[in-house]
Amino acid sequence: MNISSLNLTAIAPQIIIIITALVVLLAELFTGRKSLLAYLSLLGIIVAAIASWYIWNGTEQRLFAVPMFQTMAVADGYSLFLNLVFLVTAALSVLASINYLVRERINHGEYYALLLLATGGMMLMGSATDLMTVFLALEILSISLYVLAGFNRADLKSGESALKYFLLGAFASGFLLYGIALIYGATGTTNLAAIVDFLKGTGPMRGTYLFIGLGLLLVGFSFKIALVPFHMWTPDVYEGAPTSVTAFMSVGAKAAGFAALGRLLLYAFPTLLGDWVWALAVLSVLTMTLGNLTALAQTNVKRMLAYSSIAHAGYILIGLIAANEAGMAGVLFYLLAYAFMNVGAFAVVIAVGREGEPNLELSDYAGLGSRQPLLAAAMAVFMFSLAGVPPLAGFFGKLYIFSAAVQAGFVALAIIGVLNSVVSAFFYLRVIVYMYMQKPIVEARPVLAPPLALAIALAVLGTIGLGLLPTPFLTLAQQSIAMLFGA
């Protein structure tokens, strides 16, 4: 590799995020005000977003929309749209964390550095065009999240969640790496473009190693995005991890998994579509159904949102199964909408909680509409959007994905998705019933810190804005997926 010929502008957003993480680590040595580290992290996120927009805008995207660095990474529209999802998630999570970390006595600078490193790993997964790059990016993401899940060392549940996540995550990484090894053995390469050329040259002949390798990759990614039956870690980890970390990983890790899986299946393995699409369809049905049915029985709000997150992975998977431009554009739009509404919901959970009293039970939300009307209204917006009620962002996300499935001939799958969405309305609306139709058990009003209030306000604006004006963002998503379909 000729270092002098590398165009580092193509991965400038990732470089900015990683450098910001290192600067935050060093800055902690010279400042006692941890909030400054949070604002420094936000500055890095904003600069990375500007860099992504610069590459995305006009002629710059055409310059970088080809694989670089020995075809290991690319800065195409697909990766840049996903950068938007990851950076929105990171920014909202940082804002929601500032006062929460102080309240829980875990206000350490390395928290923000780890969150930024995880964000950098997510962005690298979105731009990776080689299986080894995918694996390295996934490990950067996963190791950071393992530590963040156990960040509250005084809480035994936090330590338990970190250990479960680490053990099962390492197991899943083993599946992923073994799958990569088998695909390399079958094709002689780990580069996605070279795999495409190999499959075109082999015609109808397929090797056993190739099928087994692809199956192992699907198992590894299914763990990362919490598909049934590889979801068993999700409820315990989401409940035990600090709530700000749960908000971040519930969106970021899922989006990163779908980013890599979408490029892998639709760009490198479209010729095997008939082999993998039905396996994913079964996983989608199981994931939607079990996630929603189990969420019905939950009285703990974090566990309910954990099972909700599992169900939403099943919905998003329908767009991937459709394997058409409408489906993948719907996936990108859904991920952006999900970033606003899910991080926003967890931000409200943070706002309702108090030190030593996390207030995670449904009964703790009784009468919130009278105690804190604006906070209750924000939670209602997020619950309605997650349920798919128009005209909010969640409705249009589901509409685009289900309609893409119908266009691709998966009518039964779309119907199952709609029925599951109807079932999910029960446990989302139950939160609203408690907030507005139950008498408050406690009269204390949550104290809403300015950064947390800003995070919730931005999440509400994003959820409503994407619902009222979905067309520009959907058009942007449609323009971003050209490389996946050979354009």
Q: Is the peptide bond before 67 cis (omega within 30 degrees of 0)?
A: no
Pick from 356, 358, 382: nearest CA to 435: 382
Mean of the pLDDT values across residues 81-109?
A: 89
- Whether the predicted pLDDT of 3 surpasses 60: no
CA atoms within 13 A on the CB side of 168: 22
Mean of the pLDDT values across residues 48-66?
A: 70
The pLDDT value given to residue 364: 81
CA atoms within 13 A on the CB side of 469: 6
What confidence tier does 35 reach under pLDDT thresholds 50, 70, 90?
Answer: confident
Q: Where are the domains of the chain?
A: 3-485
The DSSP secondary structure of 320-370, one letter per residue, reads HHH-SHHHHHHHHHHHHHHHHHHHHHHHHHHHH-BTTB---BGGGGTTHHH
Pick from 109, 350, 330, 336: nearest CA to 243: 350
| 8 A C-beta contact, residue 466 and residue 85 | no
pLDDT above 70: percentage of residues in the chain = 91
CA atoms within 13 A on the CB side of 115: 35
Instruction: Find the range with the poorest average confidence among 35-49, 190-204, 300-314.
Output: 190-204
Tokens representing 343 are: 């991080």
User: What are the tens digits of pLDDT across the range 219-233?
Assistant: 989 988 889 888 888
Angle at 83 between CA 77 and CA 86, to 5 degrees: 150
**Prediction pTM value:** 0.92
Cα–Cα distance, 252 to 249 (Å, whole number): 5
pLDDT above 90: percentage of residues in the chain = 41
Question: Greatest CA span in the chain, whole angstroms?
Answer: 70
Dihedral through CA 311, CA 315, CA 320, CA 323, nearest 10? 150
Q: Is the peptide bond before 358 cis (omega within 30 degrees of 0)?
A: no
Cα–Cα distance, 261 to 179 (Å, whole number): 13
3-state secondary structure of 128: strand
Backbone angles phi, psi at 357, to 5 degrees: -135, 85
User: What are the tens digits of pLDDT across the range 336-369?
Assistant: 999 999 999 999 999 887 665 565 778 888 888 8
The partner residues of 191 in beta bridges, in order of sequence, read 130
- Whether the predicted pLDDT of 31 surpasses 50: yes
- Whether the predicted pLDDT of 211 surpasses 90: no
What confidence tier does 59 reach under pLDDT thresholds 50, 70, 90?
Answer: very low
Cα–Cα distance, 211 to 455 (Å, whole number): 44
DSSP 408: T
| 8 A C-beta contact, residue 121 and residue 137 | yes
Q: Is the peptide bond before 229 cis (omega within 30 degrees of 0)?
A: yes
Cα–Cα distance, 285 to 413 (Å, whole number): 7
What confidence tier does 206 reach under pLDDT thresholds 50, 70, 90?
Answer: low
Per-residue buried b or exposed e for 341-356, using 16+ beta carbons within 10 Å of the residue's own CB: bbbbbbbbbbbbbeee
Tokens representing 462 are: 């994003």
User: What are the tens digits of pLDDT across the range 439-480?
Assistant: 776 666 666 788 999 999 999 999 999 999 988 998 888 888
What confidence tier does 68 reach under pLDDT thresholds 50, 70, 90?
Answer: low
